Structure 1
């Protein structure tokens, strides 16, 4: 089968298309023929080696989110799964390929009306957005700033926060180019990555949801209101400065809270329930997915170059 591996850590050019044997499903697993493969920020972080070389090794297939039909079953799996359209999480690797395997706990059937491209745009991102907003304790009437709002997590967070009655300020690379689209999704104000670009936007917030992190993180800690909550849910912009905690201490009298968040800490049944609800909401048109582009699997390098250049609005999807 055709697959995309990390031949060396670093930039997008470290990805390579190779031929590999198709993986066989182990007991309790299914094999899937992907019709759509999600390209996400976590893939870029893993490819760069930012999370350490133990998270994924050179030579491994990149990719964690696929949607397609079940083509083979491991022992102990109900035969009714064969041929089903499903979304699946493959772990930190294994998705960028013509065949992938996943455990049943990480596999969900897709509702009629939801495309495979929509599924990989929403499946991983929607639950991150949902549980991050819940962990931050965002309530109706509060103000939330979403940093990295043009990515699939940010787009889901904008919609969910606005739907919950919060005032949403979206931060993206270009407020002038992307502002109208983010406002259509529920943002009340749109700022550029420096936090400027809309004089009418509030200057402080109850909650910050940050997909980016990186060197700009302390600037947004400064914008928290008293009892403000800051959740870092990604590091697509790199690690924050080592001394960023000094900004929290500088605002000591405001009783600020800073936390990291991963859905790995959420019970699997809760994740499955929310993801299922999101899939049905998207199939009804109540939750929007934004597919930036659909590219052939062998153009994975281009997909990562587009992400690195900040040109992606939504999610890039690969097709074998």
Structure 2
């Protein structure tokens, strides 16, 4: 089968099409005939070697989530899964393939009306947005700033904050066009990437939901109201400075707080309950995904170039 492997960590050009033996499901696993592969920020971090501490090496197959149809099951797995459409979590890798082998506990059935491409634009992102806002102790009436709102996690966070009764949902993004798309999804104020602009935008926020991190993250503390909470759910912009907490400590009397959030810390049963609700809402048109572009699996290099250049609104989806 065709797959995409990291031949050299770093730039998108380090990705290459390779031929691998057809996989088979071992005990406790299912074989998924892949229809859609989500291209996300974690894939870029893996490709760059940012998460090399996890023991990844050249030849690694990236890709954290796929959707498709179960083609076969291994020993100990209910044969009723065969022929069912599923979303599957492949972790830090294994998704850029034509056929993926996944532990049965990492698959989730798809509603009949939910397209595979929409499933991989929502499956991981929606859960992060839901529990990330919960980690921020977001409550109705509070103001929220979503930094990096044009990605799939940000798009979900904007919708969930708006549906949750936020007093204001401000977003940072790179263009007026993207800002208008985000307004249609629930944003009330559109700021530039530096967090400036936006007519009548709040001077401060109760919650800052940050997907970017990077060198500019410390400045976000100045945007928090007293008792405000900053939650970092991603590091697509790289690690923040080592002394980033100094900004928070300098404003000690504002009682601000900072937290990181990873969906890995949420019990599986809770994740799956939320994912099921969100899939059903998306199938009914109540929760909106945004697929930036469908591209053939062989064009993974181009997909990563677009992602690195900041050209993607929502999520690129690869199709085998």
User: After TM superposition, is the score higher than 0.5?
Assistant: yes
Structural RMSD (CA): 0.9
218-227 or 32-41: which moved more?
218-227
Alpha carbons 1:46, 1:55 under 8 Å: kept: no
TM-score (norm 2): 0.98
TM-fit CA distance, 1:242: 1.4
Structure 1 equivalent of residue 67 of structure 2? 67
Q: How do 1:305-320 residues align onto structure 2 when only pairs under 5 Å count?
A: 305-320=305-320
Alpha carbons 1:56, 1:93 under 8 Å: kept: no
Unaligned runs of 5+ in 1: none
293-302 or 6-15: which moved more?
6-15
Deviations 1:199-257 (A, max 9, x none): 32112100111110011111112111111111101010111111111111111111111
Separation in structure 1 between the aligned mates of residue 240 and residue 108 of structure 2, nearest angstrom: 35
Alpha carbons 1:85, 1:110 under 8 Å: kept: yes
Structure 1 position 43 matched with structure 2 position 39: no
Structure 1 equivalent of residue 155 of structure 2? 155
Structure 2 equivalent of residue 179 of structure 1? 179
Structure 1 position 82 matched with structure 2 position 82: yes
Structure 1 equivalent of residue 169 of structure 2? 168
SS of equivalent to 1:120: helix
Separation in structure 1 between the aligned mates of residue 55 and residue 275 of structure 2, nearest angstrom: 25
SS of equivalent to 1:259: strand
Separation in structure 1 between the aligned mates of residue 43 and residue 89 of structure 2, nearest angstrom: 13
Alpha carbons 1:214, 1:240 under 8 Å: kept: yes
Separation in structure 2 between the aligned mates of residue 179 and residue 83 of structure 1, nearest angstrom: 40
Alpha carbons 1:218, 1:247 under 8 Å: kept: yes
Alpha carbons 2:128, 2:263 under 8 Å: kept: yes
Separation in structure 2 between the aligned mates of residue 57 and residue 200 of structure 1, nearest angstrom: 49
Structure 1 position 246 matched with structure 2 position 209: no
TM-fit CA distance, 1:52: 2.7
Structure 1 equivalent of residue 215 of structure 2? 215
Deviations 1:39-69 (A, max 9, x none): 0000001111112343522101110100000
Q: How do 1:17-32 residues align onto structure 2 when only pairs under 5 Å count?
A: 17-32=17-32
TM-fit CA distance, 1:103: 1.4
Separation in structure 1 between the aligned mates of residue 139 and residue 53 of structure 2, nearest angstrom: 39
Deviations 1:99-145 (A, max 9, x none): 11111211011001100000000000000000000111100100010
Separation in structure 2 between the aligned mates of residue 251 and residue 186 of structure 1, nearest angstrom: 31
Structure 2 equivalent of residue 54 of structure 1? 54
Structure 2 equivalent of residue 201 of structure 1? 201
Separation in structure 2 between the aligned mates of residue 188 and residue 199 of structure 1, nearest angstrom: 10
Unaligned runs of 5+ in 2: none
Structure 1 equivalent of residue 109 of structure 2? 109
Separation in structure 1 between the aligned mates of residue 37 and residue 70 of structure 2, nearest angstrom: 14
Structure 1 stretches of 4+ moved >6 Å: none
Separation in structure 2 between the aligned mates of residue 145 and residue 28 of structure 1, nearest angstrom: 42
